[in-house]
Structure 1
Amino acid sequence: MIPLKTLGRALRPGLALLSMALLAGCQSALLDPKGQIGQDQKTLLITSVVLMLLVVIPVIVMTIAFAWKYRASNTKARYEPEWSHSTAIEVVVWSIPCLIILVLAVLTWRSSHALDPYRPLQSDVPPVEIEAVSMDWKWLFIYPQEGVATVNEITVPVDTPLNFRITSDTVMNSFFIPHLGTQIYAMAGMQTKVHLIANEPGEYFGISANYSGHGFSKMGFAVHATDNAGYQAWLQKVKASPQKMDDAAFQALAANRNDKEQYPVTYFASVQDGLFKALLDKHMMGGHKHEGHDHAATGAEPVAMCTSGDN
C-alpha cells in the first residue's frame, strides 16, 4: 500500500494545476470596481492588507531564518540556554504592531464615515431613486421617479448617484452589487439605504449575499450601466410593457416561489403609488405569513418587526 505522505506528494502538483484551471475563469469583482464607492473600498482593503503584512511577512521570514540558523547541525550558532530577555526585541515586537493598530484605527474611523452607506453622494447630477424589494426568490425594483418597475434587472446611467431604498417582503436578504461596492441587508418592516454610483458603462451583476432558503442561489439580477441616451431608451422599453405593478400584480409575484429556476426579467409600465411604503407598513403592523410556505423548512427564520420604518 502506498503511504499517505507519498500519495499526497504525488497528487500535489496535479491538485495545484486543477485549482488553477478551475479559477482561470473567475473574476474578482471586488478588486475590479466600476464605481467610486467600490474603488474607495478596494483602496481601503489593499491598504489594510499591506499594513498587516508588515507584521506577517517579517514573522514568516524570521521563523524560517531562525529555524535554519539554530538547526542542530549548525555547530557555529551561539548556544545561550540562560537567555531570557532583550529590551531591543521587546521594543520592536511591541512598537511596530502598536503603530500599525493606530494607523488602522484612524483608517477605520475615517472610512466608516466616508463610506457610510446612508451618506448621499455629492454630485451636480440629480440622483436616480430605486426602491428594491427582496422576495422569494427574486428582486423587485421600483423606479418611483419614472413610475416603472422591473424584476431581476436594473439599468442605471453612468456618473449618476444611485439612491437605493431597500426592504424585504419575506426573510432577511442582503443587497449587493460587487462591482459598485457595499452590501446592505434587506429586512421586512425596515428600510435600509445605500448610495452607489457606476462610473463605467458595462454589464454587471447583483446578488443576495445572505443565505435565505432553497432559492437563495437564484436571487441574482442584471445591472446595466449605460449613458443617458441608453438609459432613456431602456425606460421607453419598460414603459412599452403591457403589465402594471399594482397590489394584485404584487401578490401574484409574491405567490410565485419557484426555487428551481431563476425568475425571468419582467417589466412593468406603471407602478401603484405608495406601493413601497405600503409594504413597509404591512410588516410593521403585523405582516402576514405566506400560506403554504414555511421558511423554517428552508433553514431561514422570519425577521422580527422594527418599531420604525425609516432607519
Structure 2
Amino acid sequence: MQKRTGTYTLIAALCATLFLLPGCGEQVLVFHPVGPVGQVEKQMIILSIVMVSIVVIPVIALLWVIVVRYRDTPDNPTPYRPEWSESRTLEFLWWAVPIVIIGVLGFVTVQKTFALVRPPGKVINPLTIQVTSLDWKWLFQYPGQKIATVNYCEIPANRPIEFVLTSNAPMNSFWVPQLGGQEYTMPGMAMKLWLEADQPGVYFGSGANFSGEGFSHMHFHVIARPQSDFDHWVQRIKSTAPPLTTQQYAVLAQRTIVQPMSFSTNQPGLFEKIVSQDGGMYMRRDLMKGKVNTHVGTD
C-alpha cells in the first residue's frame, strides 16, 4: 500500500511539472495580449482548450473508472459479460460530440483567421515596416521614415502596423506573442501581417521556425511608444546612426550573430531586390515599380 501511494505521488508530481513548464518560456505571453490581433487569437486558444476538454476530461475520468471497476481482483463484484459487444447510445456520443466540436472549431477558426488578414480596426495612417529574416538576425526597414534597425523595432502605440515579410536565408517565422502572429518569412515571397499595440511597452519577438545553428539567437524586441516619442526616435536615428550601405548589408547577410543596430538611411529598393532575387516566386512586374505584390495570410 505504501509503495502504491508513492507511485501515485510520483505521477502527480510529474503531471504538475508538465503543467508548469510552459510558464518557463516567453510563449506564455500569448495569454497577455496587448493588441486587437492578440486578443482575437487568445479567444481562439481558450475556445480550443474548452472544446477539447469536453472530450479529454471525460476520457481521462472514464479511463480511471474502467481501471478501478474492472480490475482483476477476487473481491471485484462487477458482473462478467463476455457476450456484450456494443451500445448504440455510446456509439452516438463518441461520434456526435467530436463532430460537433470539429464543426464549431472549424467555423470559428476560418471566420477569425480571415478577419485577421485585414487591418485591425479602422486604418487611418498605418505604418509600414519591411522585415527580412537573415542568418541569424532580423532586419527592419522603414520605407516611409527611410531608416532601418536590426534585432529591434520601434512602433507607435494605437496605430496599425503593416509588417511586410520576406527572407534572405532559410524559411523562418515572425512572431510577437503579445501582439499576435505568427507569419512565415520565405525567400522569393512577400507576406503581410497586420499588428497593433494598444499601449506602450516592450514586447518580446522571436523566430519561431528552426533555421540552423544560430536559431536560438533570432529574437528581437518590439518597442511601442506614443506617436510623439516615436517621431523623436526617428529623428534621433536619422541624426546619429550610420547609413545602411551595400557593404553593410552584405556583412549583415552573412551567417553571424549581432547585437541590436540602427541605421540612419535604408537602401531604396533593397527589400524588393531581396524578394525578387532568384526569380521571386510570387512577384509581378509591379514590384519593379516599387510596389510589393504581397501574398496575404496568417498562421
TM-score by length of structure 2 reads 0.83
Q: Name the residue aligned to 1:65.
A: 65
Equivalent positions of 1:1-16 (< 5 A) are: none
Q: Name the residue aligned to 1:173.
A: 172
1:87 corresponds to 2:62: no
Are the equivalent residues in 1 in contact too, given 2:206–2:218 (CA < 8 A)?
A: yes
- Between the aligned partners of 1:60 and 1:21, the Cα distance in structure 2 is 20
- The 1:115–1:65 alpha-carbon spacing in structure 2 relative to 1, beyond 3 Å, is same
Equivalent positions of 1:45-194 (< 5 A) are: 45-71=45-71, 72-116=73-117, 119-194=118-193
Unaligned ranges ≥5, structure 2: 285-292
Are the equivalent residues in 1 in contact too, given 2:239–2:264 (CA < 8 A)?
A: yes
Q: Name the residue aligned to 2:196.
A: 197
How many angstroms does 1:209 deviate by? 1.2
Are the equivalent residues in 2 in contact too, given 1:161–1:195 (CA < 8 A)?
A: yes
Number of equivalenced pairs:
281
Equivalent positions of 1:190-229 (< 5 A) are: 190-229=189-228
Which one of the candidate residues 280, 283, 289 is aligned to 1:308? 283
How many angstroms does 1:18 deviate by? 8.2
Q: Which moved more, 1:155-164 or 1:237-246?
A: 237-246
Which one of the candidate residues 262, 273, 285 is aligned to 1:278? 273
| DSSP 3-state at the match of 1:245 | coil
- Between the aligned partners of 1:133 and 1:44, the Cα distance in structure 2 is 28
Are the equivalent residues in 2 in contact too, given 1:241–1:267 (CA < 8 A)?
A: no
Q: Name the residue aligned to 2:289.
A: none
Render the CA deviation track for 1:39-97: whole Å, top value 9, x for unaligned: 11111011012111111111111221233233334543233222223222222222222
Are the equivalent residues in 1 in contact too, given 2:120–2:194 (CA < 8 A)?
A: yes
Q: Which amino acid aligns with 1:306?
A: M
Q: Which amino acid aligns with 1:209?
A: A
| DSSP 3-state at the match of 2:240 | coil
- Between the aligned partners of 1:14 and 1:179, the Cα distance in structure 2 is 30
Are the equivalent residues in 2 in contact too, given 1:246–1:275 (CA < 8 A)?
A: no
Unaligned ranges ≥5, structure 1: 285-304
Q: Which moved more, 1:122-131 or 1:73-82?
A: 73-82
- Between the aligned partners of 1:136 and 1:208, the Cα distance in structure 2 is 11
- The 1:143–1:218 alpha-carbon spacing in structure 2 relative to 1, beyond 3 Å, is same
- Between the aligned partners of 1:200 and 1:214, the Cα distance in structure 2 is 35
| DSSP 3-state at the match of 1:271 | coil
Q: Name the residue aligned to 1:264.
A: 259
- Between the aligned partners of 1:231 and 1:207, the Cα distance in structure 2 is 22
Q: Which amino acid aligns with 2:214?
A: G
| DSSP 3-state at the match of 1:67 | helix
Kindly, what percent of the aligned residue pairs are identical?
35
How many angstroms does 1:279 deviate by? 2.2
Are the equivalent residues in 1 in contact too, given 2:36–2:120 (CA < 8 A)?
A: no
Q: Which amino acid aligns with 2:281?
A: C
CA RMSD for the aligned pairs?
2.9
Q: Name the residue aligned to 2:30.
A: 30
